[in-house]
A and B are shown apart, each in its own frame.
Chain A
Amino acid sequence: MSNLISALDKATDNSGIAKIEEIGLQGMITLRGDLSKAAVKKAATSVTGVEMPTLGHANHDGASGLCWMSTDELLVLCPYDQVADTLAKMHTALGKAHALAVDVSDARASLRVSGPNAREVMAKLAPVDLSPEAFKPGMFRRTRMAQVAAAFWMVDDATFQIVCFRSNAQYVFDLLKVAAQNGSEVGFFK
C-alpha cells in the first residue's frame, strides 16, 4: 500500500562521526519452536534460502535471513511485501509441528549505523565486545542499547543493522546521534 510509513520514515543523520539511518520497512517473522526439529528447520531455511544459524549468529542473503534469538526462537527476515506469502509457506512447511510463526514486521524498526567509527558508536550504547576480532559480520546480538532492548548484526565490516521496537525508534535514533557527536571518537578499536 502507498500509505505505509516506517517508524521514522527513513530519517538519516550524517552530522556526526557515523552515518545513522532508519532504513524503512523490513519483513520480520518471529518463529518459535524446537530448532532441532526438521519441520521447524525446513520452515526457516526454505523461505530464506540460508542455513540455520548457530548461537549468536545470523545468516543473510540480502533482505532475507535467519537470526538466532534464543534456543527456541529465530527471527526470520524477508522482504516486507513478501511477509504474507512467506508466513503461508512456513505454515505449510511446519504442518502439524508445534511452533509459532507470527508477523512482527510492523512491531519493529530497522536502523543502520555506518562508517569507520560505527563500532565505537555502538560500543557506547551496547554492553557487547565490538572489537573487530570479537564481533564480525555473520554474528548477531540480542542485547540492549542504553535503556531499551535491541538486536543487531553487521552488514559489512563498517555497517551495523539494528532492530528495535518501533515505539523506541526515535529514542534509538537520538541515542545514536548523541553517541556519534563530533569529537567523540574513542580510538580504541584498531
Chain B
Amino acid sequence: MSTRLATGGRLLNKSKALSFSFNGTTLKGFEGDTLASALLANDRVLMGRSFKYHRPRGVVASGSEEPNGLVQMGEGGKFEPNQRVTTTELFEGLKAKSQNHWPSLEYDVGALNAKLSRFMPAGFYYKMFIHPRSFWKHVYEPIIRHAAGLGAAPKATDRDADTYEHFYAFCDVLVIGGGVAGLQAAKAAAASGAKVIVAEQTAHLGGRAVVDGGTIDGQTAEDFVTAITAELEAMDNVTIRTRMMGAGVYDHGYVLGYERLKDHAPEMAGPRHRLWRIRAAQTITATGAIERPLSFAGNDIPGVMLASAIRDYVVNYGVSSGDRTVVVTNNDDAYRTAIALKHAGLDVPAIIDARPAGDDSDLIARAKALGIRVMMGHGIATVQGGKRVTGVEICAQAGEGAVLEEIACDAVAMSGGWSPVVHLWSHCGGKLTWDESQASFRPDPNRPPLGDKGQGFVSVAGAANGETTLAAILADATDCGKEAAKAAGFKAKATKAPVAEDAVERALLPVWLMPQGAGYKLRSKAWLDYQNDVKVSDVQLAAQEGFTSVEHAKRYTTLGMATDQGKLSNINGLAILSDSLNQPIPQTGTTTFRPPYTPISMGSIGGEARGDVFQPIRRTPMYDWHEANGADWEPVGQWRRPYAYVQSGETVHDAVMRETKNTRENLGLLDASTLGKIIVKGPDAGKFLDMLYTNMMSTLKVGKCRYGLMCSENGFLIDDGVVARIDDETFLCHTTTGGAETIHGHMEEWLQTEWWDWNVYVANVTEQYAQVAVVGPKARKALEALGGMDLSADAFGFMEWQDGSLGGFDVRAYRISFSGELSYEIAVPASQGQAFWDALMAVGADLGVMPYGTECLHILRAEKGFIMIGDETDGTVIPQDLGLNWAISKKKTDFLGKRAQQREHMVSDQRWKLVGLETIDKSTLPDGAYAVGEGTNANGQRVMIGRVTSSYHSPNLERGIAMGLVLHGPDRMGEVITFPGTDGKDYEAKIVSPVFYDPEGEKPNV
C-alpha cells in the first residue's frame, strides 16, 4: 500500500495537519502536500478513469506533466474540472472528486469499453460512425458525448466567484524555471545590471537537483539553492515569482506568465490568477526535463509510476508509493529511486535494467551495495493487477516476452530516459535537433526563435538544453545567463560557474518497446498516452494504414491530444511511429508545440473583463436621466441609447407608439449626442470633402448645412450625415453613431497615406457636445420659450446653423430634420448637457414634451423614406440602389467610389432598388424577409426578387410600413409581391413610394 512514512518530506510542515475530502471522504494531509501526495499518503492510488476505455488510473508523475490524476475541485462558484492533483497544493477544507466514471470510481460501467478495446482501435470512430451519414448527429454523437469526456462543465447558472487580472511587465532577461539552472542563469544575467524576472511554476525553487543530490561548490544542492536564492532576492534588479508558469512565448519577446495567487489558499483576498504579459528582450527557458515512461504491457495499472515521481514522493513528501517497488529502467537515473527507497526503509525486490550486462557505474554499484538485486538485460513482460499493481512478470528484453520469473510488488518505478522540456523554445519557432546519446530532441542553438532584427530572442539553459550532469547544467546556465544579458545590451560580468559533482553515469539504451519483440497481445496493452488511451498497437496500426505524417498520426490516434498535450507520450509515440515506418526518429519529427504549456484558466485570459467592466459601455451626459426615466436600453456600438422610455403600465411597444405619435403631434426630445462630429479644417478642406462625399461640399456656404453620402473606394455606401460649414476653412461633419471613430480613421488614413500634401487637419469632437434633437410642431415654441435667438423661418431657415444663446446656454443650433417635422438639433458643451435637457423638459411641460428613443427615431424616418446606414445598407449597397442619385455629383471629376460605381455590375439594371412596401392587410412585414419570384435557380431554390430592409408599425398611418430592395422595384409601382415568413405565412405587399408621410414635405417647412 501507499502510505506516509515516519521520516522525510522536505516540503512538509508536519506541525500543521490539514483535512480535505476526496469523493466525500474526509482525509488528512500536511501543509506542503500536493493533493497527489496527500492522496497517496491515504492509500488512494486509484484517482480517476481514462477517457476512452474508462481504465482505472492512478497518478504517474509528480508535476505538471501528469496525465492521469485529474479531479474536479470545489463547488458552486468555485467549481473547476480537470485539475491536476500533482500541481494542486493542499489546503484546509479542499474538496475534490474524481471524474469520468459512473456510478463510482471503484465500479465504473464504462469500463466495459476496455473489454471491447479490441474492437475500438485507432480511427475506430472515423470508420464506424460515418454510415449512415444522418446517424452521426442524431445517434452516435449524443451517445459518445455521454460516454466520453473528462470533468463536468460548471453549471450554467453558477458564476465564477473569483476575480482575475492582467499585469504588464517589462524586463531585459526573463528566466523561465527556478531550478538550479534557472537560478544560476538569472545570477549570471543579473550581474550585468540587467533587469531579470525568474518565473517558477511550483511553489518551490530548486527543481530536481534538491531531490536528486550531488554537490555544488562543496554544498548540498539544497544549501546551494538557499544561498543563491538569498543572493538573488537581495538584488534590486531581480524579481523571483513562484507559482508562476511561463505559459507561452510569442513574437517580439512577448511571454505570458500564469501566476496562481491563491489556488493554494482560496480564502485570501485578491485575484485568484494573474496573467503576466511580459516583454522581455531575452528569454531563457530553464524548464528542465521530463522523464519518459517505458512501453510494456500493463504500464497503465495504478501503481506504475515514473521513477522520478516515486523518488519525489519519498523525498519531498515522505510518502511511499508502495511497500515493494520494482524498478524498471534503461538508464542509471532510476537507480537513484531504488537507493532513495532503500534509505527510506522500503523494499526494492529488483531493478530490471534493459541494458546488457556491463561495467557497474557509480549508481549501479551503490544499488548493489545496498543489497538490491539488479537484473541486466531484462524487461517487464506484463504487469499484474487491475486497480492496483500486484506483481510483474519478468522476461528478457531481447525476446518476445516469455516469462522467466514473477515478482510480487505493489509499485513499479519506470524510467525510459529524459526528454528536455523544449515547449517554450519551440512555441515561437525554435528548432530541435536529435540527440542520439540521450535519445531525445534538444534545442538547436543555431536555429532559435527570431526577433525583429533576425536575432535569436530565446535561449535554453541546463537540462532543458539537453545537459545531463549537474556540472554541465550549471556551466551551461552560467554561459546562457551571460549571453542573454549581452544580447539584451548589457556588459556581462565574469561569473564563474559553480563546481558541481555528481555520479558518473553509464550510457542509456534507447528502449521504445519492452520486450523488444513484444507480440500484438502485449503491444495492445502497452500504453503510450494514458489519458486518451493510445497504445503502441494503435500507432502501429495508424502507420500501417498510411498515416505517415506525425501530425496526421497524432490526430488519427489522438496521441498527445489530451489535456496533458502528450508531455509523457510524445517521444515514445513518435519513436514507435518511426520504427513502423522504418525511418530514423528525426525524420519523423515532432508535432507542433503550442502555448499554453499547461492549460490556463479562462478567467485569467479574460482578466478584469467581467461584470461591470466586461465591455466598455459609453454613456452620454444624460445617461443617468434616461436610466431614471424608464429607458429600455439599446446597444449602439459601445453606446447605450434609450430604445424607448417605458412608463408604468406600458409595454415597450406601447411606449414606442406613444412617443412616435407625440413627436408628430406635439414635441419630442432625442438625445442625439452619440452622432459623430468631426471638424475638418484647412485651405484644402473643401477639396478633401469633395473627395470623401459623393456630392459637392466645397460650394456649401458658411452658415449652411448639406446632407452628404460617403462611399468606400469600392463604391459602397459607408456613412451619411449633415455637413455644416463653420467658416471658410472649417467644416463640421456629422456621422452616424457607429461611424464616428471609423470615419475619423478613414479621413486620417486618406490624409496620411494618399493626400499627405493636402493642408487639412481633422479632429473628432463627437463627445465635446451634448446634442438634443427638438422635434415636432411645437419645437419652435419650446425654443422660443427658452429665449435668446430669433428662430423665425425667415431668420433661421431650413438647413442652416447658427451659434447663439438659448435659455442662457451657449449653443450651436442646426435646423435640420431626420423626422420630417419641424426640428432643431441643439449642441451644448457636454458638461451642460443635463442642465440643458432639464431646461427643455421644463419649457416643454406645457407643450406635451416627451423624450423619445431610437425606435421612434427609426419609425419617423421610415415614414419619410429616409434611409438608415446599416438597415438599407449592408456593405453591398451603392447610393444608386437607394434612389439617391440626386446626391451624387455629376460635376466632380472624382470622388471616392466614383470609378467603382461605373463598373459593369454597379450599373446593371439587375440591381435591386429601394421601394416602399405596404402590406395589403396593414400588418407588419417581417424584417429581413425575402420576396420570391417565379421558378427556381440553378440550385433548385426559389428565385429571390427582393428583401425587406426596414419594417415597422406606423402609429401615425395606423399600418405596417416597410422599405425594401426589389428587382426593378421603382418600375413596378402598384405590383403586389410575396414575402414568405419564417412563421410559414405568406405576406403580400404592394410596391409603393418609400415616402409614406407628408410626401410634399410641408410639415418641417413652417
Contacts and interface: CB of A to CB of B under 8 A. Distances in A.
Given A103-B768, A106-B767, A124 B169 contact: no
A92 interface: no
A107 B835 contact: no
Nearest to B197: A188
B666 interface: no
B628 to A, nearest CB: 15
A30 to B, nearest CB: 5
A178 interface: yes
Contact of B621 (A99, A166, A178): A166
B761 to A, nearest CB: 4
A89 to B, nearest CB: 18
Contact of A178 (B165, B269, B618): B165
Contacts of A134: 170
Contact of B270 (A98, A100, A182): A182
A104 interface: yes
A63 interface: no
A171 B768 contact: no
B830 interface: yes
B657 to A, nearest CB: 30
Contacts of A98: 682-683, 759, 761
Contacts of B761: 32-33, 72, 98-100
Given A167-B639, A183-B268, A100 B767 contact: no
B613 A174 contact: yes
Contacts of A102: 679, 763, 765
Contacts of B170: 129, 131, 134
B618 A25 contact: no
Interface residues of A, number: 54
B731 to A, nearest CB: 12
B259 to A, nearest CB: 9
B829 A123 contact: no
Contacts of A170: 617, 619
B271 interface: yes
A104 B765 contact: yes
A32 B618 contact: no
A178 B162 CA distance: 12
A148 B618 CA distance: 10
Contacts of A108: 767
Interface string B761-782: 1110111110000000000000
A7 B279 CA distance: 34
A86 to B, nearest CB: 15
A137 B682 CA distance: 35
Given A127-B168, A165-B767, A100 B682 contact: yes
B316 interface: no
B832 interface: yes
A178 B163 contact: yes
Nearest to A25: B831
Contact of B269 (A25, A99, A182): A182
Given A3-B835, A6-B831, A106-B831, A174 B168 contact: no
A146 interface: yes
Interface string B824-864: 00000111101100000000000000000000000000000
Nearest to B268: A183
B260 interface: no
Interface string B57-91: 00000000000000000000000000000000000
Question: Ordered nearest first, which 5 A-B pairs have the shortest CB separation?
Answer: A183-B270, A183-B269, A3-B835, A167-B618, A107-B767
Given A104-B763, A165-B767, 20 more contacts: A3-B835, A32-B761, A98-B683, A100-B679, A100-B762, A102-B763, A104-B768, A106-B769, A106-B830, A125-B166, A125-B608, A146-B616, A147-B609, A166-B621, A167-B639, A169-B619, A171-B618, A174-B612, A184-B270, A184-B271
13 contacts: A5-B834, A30-B763, A100-B761, A100-B762, A103-B768, A104-B765, A106-B769, A107-B765, A130-B168, A134-B170, A168-B616, A171-B613, A183-B271
